Amino acid sequence: MSLAKELYLEAKEIVFDHFRTPTFWKVIFWAILAIGSFSIVYRFAFGLGASTNLSDEFPWGLWIGFDVMTGVGLAAGGFTISGLTYIFNIKKFRPIVKPAILTAMLGYILVVVGLLVDLGRPWYIWHMIIYWNIHSPLFEVGTCVLLYNIVLILEFSPVVFKKLRWSKAFHAVKKITMPLVILGVILSTLHQSSLGSLFLPVFTQMHPFWYSPLLPVLFYLSAVMTAFAMVTVESNIAARALRKQVEIGVLAVIARILVVLMALFGVIRLIDLYHQGILPQIFQANEASLYFWIEYSFMIIIPLILLTSEKRRWNNTILFYAAASTVIGFTIHRLNVAVTARTLINGDLYSPSFMELMTSVFIVAVGMAAYGFISKYFDLHDESGFTTELEEINVPKGGNSPQIQMAKK
């Protein structure tokens, strides 16, 4: 049997396996897929005005606040974990580096998809490459996201080359691993912080709880922090889906990093409010402080309490819920900056339409499905990582990889 046919049969097997046993969650997924694609088709057929609640008073809504600003932040695990593994040579993180890079790659591709839906003239997105306004934070974000997409695809490509048994390409990419990883860290540092810079000129229209001259620093820190929470969450989900054991030894180490970063971010957030002279205002009872405390509790207080004890850090259930809380808090934080801060100043001008909501849910669902497929199809949990020599790659003949056998059980 030729290699191409073998690979095709294996992919077919995974997809067929998905349809063979419909479960509750699979039905939900298909429903999301149907409604989401309808929303996107509707948006392109009838325009932004017909499908969204956006207006001249509120031009950036859920698609920017969630799909782009939260999506980029949640995909930060790619550069943090690859940085720790390759630059700082912490071999302990080897087992999770490829899943982290895969999540980041899918995340960034979906950010671009979300952006294409949101842009008024998506067919001109390449204008960012030829018309430069180097003073615009959005130009910076756009350029970095484009370049980082290329870096991520290259970082992930050895996994694909291994599967295709393209030894030359595999070794060529392997040789530039270190420059790629360092480039990825630099690009991420730049655009993760520039996402915060987007709001620097808008300060007259934002509630002071969420505006700060430090926004770029806060955005960078919160993204790095949430990256570790996100890795914990997705390791759990992936382990459940692939019926594998969670790497609790690695996750406990990550939890320790997470505790330090949460304490750091939590304190810097308060120091920042103090220097703006509005720290006492968070103790007043009003709408703004309510939003602040919801965000701060989920993002910092709850997970910090849960994770401060060594014993609890080795308990996977607690780890999972603490990390999930951080991820939720982070999402609330980004949405507060993008949406709530503006509505608190200019009045309740915006809540997302059903189609906006379903498009965002659709994008998340597609990302999870793609992750599920790729993690079953490719070998992500090879502990030897990028350093795998080609001799070790002995794909069993007949298209029966260990993953498939596991899925069949």
Q: Please, which residue, 297 or 346, has the CB nearer to other proteins? A: 346
Closest by CA position to 35, among listed 398, 391, 401, 353:
353
For other proteins, how many residues bind (rule: CB under 8 A)? 64
Is 277 among the residues that bind other proteins (CB under 8 A)? Answer: no
Among residues 112, 190, 341, 380, the one that binds other proteins under rule CB under 8 A: 190
Question: Which member of 35, 182, 390, 393 binds other proteins (CB under 8 A)?
Answer: 182
Determine the interface stretch with other proteins among 102-110, 180-188, 262-270, 317-325 (rule: CB under 8 A).
180-188
Among 83, 114, 352, 399, binds other proteins (CB under 8 A): 83
Does the footprint of other proteins cover residue 402 (CB under 8 A)? Answer: no
Q: CA-CA distance, 82 to 84, in Å (whole number)?
A: 6
- CA–centroid distance for 406 within its chain: 27
Tell me whether residue 49 or residue 402 sits nearer to other proteins (CB atom).
49
Q: Specify the stretch interacting with other proteins by CB under 8 A; choose among 165-173, 181-189, 232-240, 393-401.
A: 181-189
Give the one residue of 23, 89, 317, 394 binding other proteins; rule: CB under 8 A.
89
Residue 275 binding other proteins, by CB under 8 A: no
Find tokens 């067919």 and name the residue.
123
**For residues 115 and 65, what is the distance between their CA atoms, to the nearest angstrom?**
11
Inter-residue long-range contacts of 233-240, CB under 8 Å, 24+ positions, other chains counted = 233/320, 233/323, 233/324, 233/327, 234/77, 234/99, 234/103, 234/371, 235/96, 235/99, 236/316, 236/319, 236/320, 237/368, 238/99, 238/371, 238/375
Stretch that binds other proteins, among 11-19, 21-29, 191-199, 320-328 (CB under 8 A): 191-199
Output the furthest CA–CA distance in the chain (Å, rounded): 72
201 touches other proteins (CB under 8 A): yes
- Report the residue from 13, 140, 155, 234 that binds other proteins according to the rule CB under 8 A: 140
Residue with tokens 């503006």: 342
Q: Mark residue 385 as left, alpha or beta (left: phi above 0; alpha: psi -120 to 50; beta: remaining).
A: left
Nearest CA to 139 out of 46, 131, 302 is that of 131
Q: Is residue 166 a contact residue for other proteins (CB under 8 A)? A: no
Q: Which span sits near other proteins by CB under 8 A: 19-27, 199-207, 222-230, 235-243? A: 199-207
15 CA to centre of own chain: 24
The token pair at 148 is 């980082």
Using the rule CB under 8 A, give the single segment among 25-33, 183-191, 299-307, 322-330 that binds other proteins: 183-191
CA distance 259 to 255: 6
**Residue 114 near residue 62 (C-beta atoms within 8 A):** no
| Near other proteins by CB under 8 A: residue from 124, 274, 293, 354 | 124
Which 219-248 residues touch other proteins, going by CB under 8 A? Answer: none
Signed CA dihedral, 330, 331, 336, 337: sign only = positive
* Positions that interact with other proteins (CB under 8 A): 44, 46-50, 54-57, 59-60, 83, 86-92, 119-122, 124-125, 127-128, 131-140, 142, 178, 182, 185-186, 189-190, 193-194, 196-198, 200-205, 213, 216, 249, 252-253, 256, 314, 346
